[in-house]
Chain A
Amino acid sequence: MSAWVDAWARHQGLPATLIHHLDLCATELVTNVVSHAFEGAAAHRISLSLGMDHDRVMLEVEDDGKPFDPRAIAPQPPRIDLDDGPPGGWGLAIVRYFADELRYLRTAGRNRLTVVLRVG
């Protein structure tokens, strides 16, 4: 997946830093879906699409898992001590940090999350 994101982004002539941020967002969102959206052993589908809209990159992640709006998840409080909180849960923090906008839609039994990253 990262190779696909990288190839597309290079073809668009996007800067290396933005390509890295895009790769991070895609990686974290797919990891999140695989970890949380599916129950049981049935086969599921995650679709990713990438597009440009003027100076904005749109990364869309669609899955047929249970409804999940990441915008509704409260950000983790800052950790002061090494022993504070669970060791994981950083994926959404990373996406929130790099995304200029997060859009969520539940439609026809699917989650559709769009991450918008502004170029420049």
Chain B
Amino acid sequence: MDLEVQHLGDGIDRVKLAGRLDTAGVEAVGARLSALTTTQAARILIDLSQVTFLASIGIRSLLTGARTLKQRGGRMAILSPQSVVAEVLELTGIATLIPVFHDLEAASAALKAPPPGA
């Protein structure tokens, strides 16, 4: 599992993951992902376009990150999951908790917008 961070401007970081987000995958990138989400008010776009497998441990890692970000005034969104990964995000209901986008512009716009209720 690989992790690459790209600064998109406007305080948004695109975190591109590649490989299988299973136990070994979370062991490989979990600490870096956790460090990124504990940054004050970060806006993180998790790019799943190169992720071929999402297991429950990966979901837990994403959800924990999204919660930490929210507590610090930041936000998380997911970009371009492959169909098999999107299916898991849908069936677990994660797609309703962390917004999923298939378009970079739309995802960036959503992350830039003020949080609901702000």
B106 is an interface residue with CB less than 8 A from chain A: no
**Number of residue pairs spanning A and B whose beta carbons lie under 8 angstroms apart:** 59
CB proximity of B20 to chain A, nearest CB, Å: 8
User: A53 at interface (Cβ–Cβ under 8 A)?
Assistant: no
Contacts of A93 on B, CB cut-off 8 Å? Answer: 56, 91-92
Identify which of A80, A82, A97 contacts B98 (C-beta below 8 A): A82
Task: Decide: A24 near B88, CB < 8 A? Known: A31-B23, A82-B70, A82-B98.
Answer: yes
Stretch of B9-17, B41-49, B57-65 that contacts chain A: B57-65
Is A47 interfacial (CB-CB < 8 Å)?
no
Partner of B88, one of A80, A83, A94: A94
Point out residues on A near B: beta carbons under 8 Å. 2, 17, 20, 23-24, 27-28, 31, 78-83, 87-91, 93-94, 97
Q: B residues touching A (Cβ–Cβ < 8 Å)?
A: 20, 22-23, 53, 55-57, 59-60, 63-64, 66-67, 70, 84, 88, 91-93, 96-98
